[in-house]
Amino acid sequence: MLDHSKEPGTEGLENRQKEQADVSAQLGEADTWKDQLKTLVRQNKLAAFSAVILILFLLAAVFAPIVAPYDHLKQSLTDRLQDPSLAHWLGTDELGRDVLSRVIFGARVSLTIGLVPTLISMAIGTVLGLCAGFYGGKTDFVIMRLADVMLAFPSLLLAMVVMYTMGGGLINIFIALSLVNWAGTARIVRSQTLSLKEKEFVEAARSIGVRQWTIMFRHILPNCLPSLIVLFTLNIPSAILSEASLSFLGIGAQPPSASWGLMAVRGKKYLFSEPWLSIAPSVAIMIVVMAFNFLGDGLRDVLDPYLKEQ
Amino acid sequence: MWSRVGKRIAISIPVLVGVVLAIFVMLRIVPGDPVTTMLGEHVNPAVIEKISREMGLDQPVTVQFFQYVFHALQGDFGTSYRLNRNVTGIILDAFPNTVKLSLLAAVVAWVIGIVAGIVAAVRQNRLLDRLFMGCALMGVSMPVFMTALVLQYVFAFKLKWFPVSGFDSVKAMILPAIALGWNSAGSIARMTRSNLVEVMQNDYIRTARAKGLREHGVIVGHALKNAMLPVVTMMVLQISSMLSGAVLTESVFGVPGIGRLAVNAIETRDMPLLQGTVVFTTILIIAGNLAADLLYNVLDPRIREGA
Amino acid sequence: MRESIVLDIKDLKSHFFTAKGVAPAVDGVSIQVPAGKIIGVVGESGCGKSMTAMSVMGLLRYPGRVVGGTITLDGRDITHLSAKELSKVRGNEISMIFQEPMTSLNPVYPVGKQVREAILLHQKVSKAEAKERVVEIFRAVGIPEPEKRYYNYPHQLSGGLRQRVMIGMAMVCRPKVMIADEPTTALDVTIEAQILRLMKKLCEEQGTSIILITHNMGVVAEVCDYVYVMYAGKVMEQAETFELFDHTSHPYTRGLLNSIPRLDEKARRLHTIEGVVPNLLHLPEGCSFCTRCSEAKKRCFVERPDLYQVGEEHKVRCFQYEGEA
């Protein structure tokens, strides 16, 4: 609903960026993706570090059965609510399950929820945005009004409504998040498509009779990719947070799943005696979300300086 | 400017109708008969049919929708299945708590966010900047319930400065407000900083320096107003996102607000109540977005004064 | 130059500290500005003329920094002033107008208020009095309906009017020196002449000296008393304007003059100077112009020429003139 293109001072900034571009051209800087990667690693150590953290989490998730010291579902009522110790680094929960093992298995839930529904919703958003921008007219109008409606919804409430309809459970969160978050992507892809379709190379492709779908996916889409990569990295944490929130509210993952949000809410009862029960999974969420945010910020600086904070 | 305002309002109305329709349809594609779900499987079919008729559920969905909108326009959001009470009344009981919580949280977010953002921008790339921006990113990355749990553990349980839960005194409101505002404070700080840093690159900042203004004069007198225009819009938008974020805070601190109603409604499969809370909150949020947009129009002279 | 010198820039050096090395954007520039005269500084973009101006104003920002030389304003060394002292000089005794009139004014304040701020910063006058002065200077710089324009926002004014506002802002405290960095480049040609005439008039009336930075030799011929030709951070040739046009000495200056299209010659190819401004990080070992100079000798590639005196108030940085005067 908001028109941020009129942000104050952008005219002057363009000038400045042009100047800086001149200067870098003069200093002989090139811009291949390898250079960009190097720049990312060199200039933004935090982003590089975050990438390492995320890879570690990913490995832990994939090899959870090997990495985790215990079976994350195995209950042992004699070992209930133990303090952190050498045997159980993060203690045990109210059913005697090893918290560290559950946090490691929880990475599977969170990363899957972060990656897959985000990919699906962004794919939907990309296709809709491309169509809206490319065909314009009625197609554009219908898609964008639909996006307006989706964006007017606070995503947590929307997800709650979907969860009511479909019932709890991870699969349903999966579906809910896939369907809910396409609108932002659609908007950005649409606006880029609008400006790209006026470019000479698209005109050229059109003039030699390239088919529309080929133009859209071979010529326009690749030029949207930098923005999409950044957007993907920044959308993942919000999906992870949504799942955690829904599970925390008891309308997401169901026991005995090792979802971090669910662990946090089940540990809430013991917050004052065994705080690590809810804090450990919460910290895990924070680290993963923060790492994705750092990485996304870094990628944006390198790949796409024009994609402003939404 | 007024034509812009008119246009914005005109765009909001179909969006509003669309949202209500979307909620309405989504809640009605739920598998199974709502009355059966509510009363359980083993109830006399005749009773179910009677109740369905009373609630108008035997009508086609389109008719139901128009009836719902018609009643909603008169302030009637239907009757709760479980509480057997008018949804509007239930919402209005809970609403003041959510509003208090959101507004307090907004104040927390604005004050912390703006101050931290300005300080970080002024000390760009120095220690304080790194520190504040690290905290801000942490704020953005922390799940709301985690902030709430940590605050509850440290300040209510360990230090005993505040009550653990409830919402009956100002003191009890402070922790929930910080928990809810922390997240927004992070985004506001980040946006304030990045806008300010960006604005400082502008030619008119150079002019202000050339005029003989000292650095703090340049920032306060020339950069801040430009940098804050979009932030103000975002700050108003944050209030609406808090309205929905309140769900989690309310759940941790036991605040009897709208968010709790919605969660209860889902747990007890109370469709009219859920529908009422979601529609009500969404209307508020759309109104808030509109207000934010109008505010921007009023504040920016380039739009206000026309070209 | 026998006139009293208001601004004396001696051996000014400003470097840019980039990740890829140190770029000497201003490399030992000396410029003398006599009272009430207009000094032209000419060169291609990237030759360091704007950086010289920014260094004098103390407006260089990271990664640029003044690393050597002295700047004397009216007998007072302003090179090492504290930020506070410098802010009293800036806008008051020495002021600057910029190339981009469209973006040099703050979009969220009325233009009158922005000019008034300059007065209130440097002089103890009431707001009402300051406003009077703004309206007065608006009239002097040829802004129609100055009382009404006072309350206008920048976006409501044309580029020409905005540049007049900028000139008003720069002149309102009656500075000793005004630096104008390509003040007419962004404007229409018809407006350009008006603005130049206005600046010359104000300069005569108020006794303000002007440093006019431009890449346009025609502008130089029209208004400047003295000219400095800069290339790659160094002054290549300096002379009184007529002398420079009559006895153009440096190959680079000749190149600049030849590249002006002339009406009195039959249409033929427009002259250009071959090549581009060299990368400041990898300047040639010898004369910085040697890579593009059609008259370069072997020596030019290994040794750096000094500024050689070739006439009264005429200096050239080229070995051809070594030991001439």
The pLDDT of residue A122 is 93
By C-alpha distance, the chain C residue nearest A27 is C279
| Range picked from A146-155, B63-72, C175-184 for highest mean pLDDT | C175-184
How many whole angstroms separate alpha carbon B182 and alpha carbon C165? Answer: 45
Nearest Cα of chain C lies from the Cα of A27 at a distance, in angstroms, of 6
Residue range B101-113, pLDDT digits in tens? 988 999 999 999 9
Query: C47 vs C314, which has greater pLDDT?
Result: C314
Q: What average pLDDT does range C13-28 have in this prediction?
A: 86
Q: What average pLDDT does range C244-258 have in this prediction?
A: 88
The pLDDT of residue C213 is 92
| Range picked from A170-179, A280-289, B289-298 for highest mean pLDDT | A280-289
Nearest Cα of chain B lies from the Cα of C50 at a distance, in angstroms, of 13
Domains of chain B: 87-306 (1.10.3720.10)
Q: Give the total number of structural domains in chain A.
A: 1
Nearest by Cα to C70 from C56, C60, C57, C82? C56
Alpha helices per DSSP H over chain B: 2-28, 34-39, 45-55, 61-73, 87-122, 127-141, 144-151, 170-199, 203-211, 215-217, 224-253, 258-267, 271-299, 301-304
- Chain C partners within 8 Å of A9 (Cβ): 103, 107
| Sign of torsion over alpha carbons A188, A193, A195, A200 | positive
The pLDDT of residue C177 is 93
> Is residue A9 domain-resident?
no
The pLDDT of residue B43 is 72
Q: How many CB atoms lie within 10 A of CB A47?
A: 22
The DSSP code sequence of C292-304 is T-TT--TGGGTS-
> Is residue A7 domain-resident?
no
In terms of residue numbers, what domain contains A193?
Answer: 64-292
What count of CB pairs under 8 Å joins A to C? 26
The pLDDT of residue B34 is 66
Residue range A21-62, pLDDT digits in tens? 444 444 444 456 666 667 666 667 888 888 999 999 999 888
H-run or E-run covering C180 = strand C177-181
The pLDDT of residue B39 is 66
- Cα of first residue to Cα of last residue in chain A, in angstroms, is 12
How many whole angstroms separate alpha carbon C166 and alpha carbon C159? Answer: 10
Nearest Cα of chain C lies from the Cα of A21 at a distance, in angstroms, of 12
Confidence of residue A7 (pLDDT cuts 50, 70, 90): very low
Bridge partners, residue C64, by sequence: C16
Q: How many CB atoms lie within 10 A of CB A42?
A: 10
Q: Are A185 and A117 in contact, with CB atoms under 8 Å apart?
A: no
Residue range A176-220, pLDDT digits in tens? 888 878 888 998 899 888 888 888 888 888 888 888 888 888 888
Domains of chain C: 5-93+175-321 (3.40.50.300), 94-174 (no CATH)
Q: Of all residues in chain A, what percent carry a pLDDT higher than 90?
A: 14
Task: Say yes or no to pLDDT of B244 above 80.
Answer: no
Task: Say yes or no to pLDDT of C311 above 80.
Answer: yes
Q: At what angle do helices B2-28 and A155-166 cross, to 10 degrees?
A: 20
The pLDDT of residue C3 is 64
- Chain A partners within 8 Å of C100 (Cβ): 12, 15
Q: What average pLDDT does range B73-88 have in this prediction?
A: 82
Residue range B122-141, pLDDT digits in tens? 887 788 888 888 888 888 88
Task: Say yes or no to pLDDT of C243 above 50.
Answer: yes
ipTM entry: 0.83
Q: What is the CATH number of the domain that holds A131?
A: 1.10.3720.10
Nearest by Cα to C55 from C16, C17, C22, C18? C16
The pLDDT of residue A174 is 84
Q: Of all residues in chain A, what percent carry a pLDDT higher than 70?
A: 84
Which of B157, B201, B241 lies closest to A154 in CB terms?
A: B241
Query: C150 vs A163, which has greater pLDDT?
Result: C150
Residue range C101-160, pLDDT digits in tens? 888 999 889 999 999 999 999 999 999 999 999 999 999 888 999 999 999 999 899 888
Those of residues 21-60 in A touching chain C at CB distance below 8 A are 22, 26-29
> Is residue A183 domain-resident?
yes
Q: Residue C98, SS3? A: coil
Task: Say yes or no to pLDDT of B274 above 70.
Answer: yes
Q: Which chains touch C (3 or more CB pairs under 8 A)?
A: A, B
CB contact under 8 A, B146 and A285: yes
What count of CB pairs under 8 Å joins B to C? 79
Confidence of residue A126 (pLDDT cuts 50, 70, 90): very high
